[in-house]
Amino acid sequence: MASFNETKLLTVAEALQFDNRFTRELPADPNLENHRRQVTGACYSKVQPKQFEAPRLVAYSPEVATLLDLSGRFCASKEFVQTFVGNRLLPGMDPYATCYGGHQFGNWAGQLGDGRAINLGEVINQSGERWALQLKGAGATPYARMADGLAVLRSSIREFLCSEAMHHLGIPTTRALSVVTTGEPVERDMFYDGNPKDEPGAVVCRVAPSFTRFGHFQIFTSRGEIDVLRQLANYTICTDYPHLGVHSATEITEDTYTTWFDEVCRRTARMVVHWQRVGFVHGVMNTDNMSILGLTIDYGPYGWLEDYDPNWTPNTTDAHGRRYRFAHQPQIALWNLVQFARAIYPLVGKAEPLESSLDSYQKCFEQSWQSMMAQKLGFVEYEPTTDDALCKELDAVLQMVETDMTIFYRKLATMEFNDRQTVLDKKWSAHLVEAYYSPEQLTDDYETRLNKWLDDYGKRLQKDDLPTERRRERMNAVNPKYVLRNYLAQLAIDKAEQGDHTMVSELLDLLRRPYDEQPEKEEFAQKRPDWARHRAGCSMLSCSS
């Protein structure tokens, strides 16, 4: 493997100070051959990224580069492209793929692992923060099963843009440094219908404090490898949860494990509340796609809830059972936490504290959801005696006609409720017309029910007596104007597949300020066009990437 000229790139080598605690402290796979196999008794296998002949930068995130102390000059260089496509290794990089299992669509799948994710190592930035760097699509690993370890441009752009969009929305997430085309075709059957075709290959560099998932713990418990399970749990607590005050394995007790699990439950609850706030549907909430840090991880067949349908899932594989539909995400997160609890049970030895933490998930979710809805509706705080019914009725009203969730809340913030006497007499749907996909389908029954809800909403606002402008500011701070609508991502992909990467950068710039008006970008705030209703990539997506 070629290495950089250390004199030429000294500043880069100095910036990326690799610590690589994961590989230093956890057991390794002794087999150094990169062939598909079951890996036992080890947390990871050493691998080398595939070499690509003609990589080209599509885009990079300046914010993530800053996290890593990388200069803009380096990010615009050929060396950057060669590094983050996996062709060259900087001093200190120690590539590896990790072993994990998981439940997929509710069924135990056994060993899964990093089938096409290759970790370059962990860096400590100038602020003392630990960031793991991971390439997705840089080649096969021992965990690739029957796959090729590669990724295509469409899925790579979607992951890159959504990772950064979610961060700027204030949602816990992994980040993305860059997306690079490989210059080599990758064969994929997008619809699993027996018609594969070649697509442009690409590599995304993911960035996170940790990529550890629930499935990392499940695999060792399922195999009875409790010593390895304990090593991984101890490492995770000491490294990823330093605020718990435990700095070595000798300090860890059964109570430490339960305290840790309780925090994982709470972090997961808050993450899912954020998803519900903005209408994000993950699409494949398998236990191997659940972060131990409560981060949104693995952006595969995700989607944004444009017309408000709680039963919608973006995943074609999930179209029949709709296990991972929007409304079911809170329950699925709890189910996944139950599986995680079972995985670490051998370390705790008793069910009661784990069950108590699962109860805390539900309480934390309910409290966080109530606080979130109060913010979305502009209330000072949530008052269950009135707001439970108000939110339940709003949920029903939004489903009566095809209503764009994002636009509805932004338009609601602009409405005046100073003179409540006129509320029942006005045709308020005219004020909300931009949120309706088929305004001609509005019925008298809908108008009556909407007006009744708005009247009740106005009464509720009067109790808080907030100035209109203050209420509007509160609402617009949590109800985004711009989200990564599925059709916008697809338009950027269409252009990028033709060699034009400008729209990727344009969307990245737009989504840095999702709550701002950005008048010059108004076109990106419009609801999904009719041509995108059933087009692949704009409505539903498969796991093929």
HSE, CB side, 13 Å, CA atoms: give it for residue 286.
26
In angstroms, rounded to a whole number, what is the distance separating the alpha carbons of residues 155 and 160?
Answer: 9
pLDDT at 540 over 90: no
Quickly count: other Cβ atoms within 10 Å of residue 24's Cβ: 11
Kindly give, in sequence order, each residue whose CB lies less than 8 Å from that of residue 127, ignoring residues fewer than 6 positions away: none
pLDDT at 8 over 50: no
E strands of 141-196, at which residues? 175-188
pLDDT in tens, 14-54: 678 999 999 999 999 999 999 999 999 999 999 999 999 99
426 band by pLDDT with thresholds 50, 70 and 90: low
Q: What local confidence, expressed as pLDDT, does residue 221 receive?
A: 98
The domain spans of the chain are 10-215, 232-375, 379-465
Q: What local confidence, expressed as pLDDT, does residue 539 receive?
A: 74
Task: Report the catalytic residues.
Answer: 288
Residue for token pair 């109790």 = 463
Comparing CA positions, the residue from 368, 357, 342, 198 lying closest to residue 275 is 368
End-to-end CA distance of the chain: 27
On whether the CB atoms of residues 413 and 473 are closer than 8 A, the answer is no
Quickly count: other Cβ atoms within 10 Å of residue 340's Cβ: 26
On whether the CB atoms of residues 301 and 284 are closer than 8 A, the answer is yes
Quickly count: other Cβ atoms within 10 Å of residue 19's Cβ: 16
Torsion, Cα of 106, 107, 111, 115 (10° steps): -60
CA 120 vs CA 16, 98, 176, 340, 495: distances in Å:
11, 12, 14, 27, 30
Torsion, Cα of 385, 387, 389, 395 (10° steps): -160
Kindly give, in sequence order, each residue whose CB lies less than 8 Å from that of residue 28, ignoring residues fewer than 6 positions away: 42, 43, 44, 45, 46, 96
* Stretch 287-315: mean pLDDT: 96
pLDDT in tens, 331-384: 999 999 999 999 999 999 999 999 999 999 999 999 999 999 999 999 999 999
pLDDT at 193 over 90: no
pLDDT in tens, 77-110: 999 999 999 999 999 999 999 999 999 999 999 9
pLDDT at 13 over 60: no
Specify the length of the chain in residues. Answer: 545
HSE, CB side, 13 Å, CA atoms: give it for residue 265.
28
Apex CA 538: angle with CA 494 and CA 297, to 5°? 95
Residue for token pair 């496509």 = 85
Torsion, Cα of 332, 337, 339, 343 (10° steps): 160
Comparing CA positions, the residue from 70, 50, 58 lying closest to residue 204 is 58
Q: What local confidence, expressed as pLDDT, does residue 3 receive?
A: 44
**What pTM was computed for the model?**
0.95
Q: What local confidence, expressed as pLDDT, does residue 544 receive?
A: 59
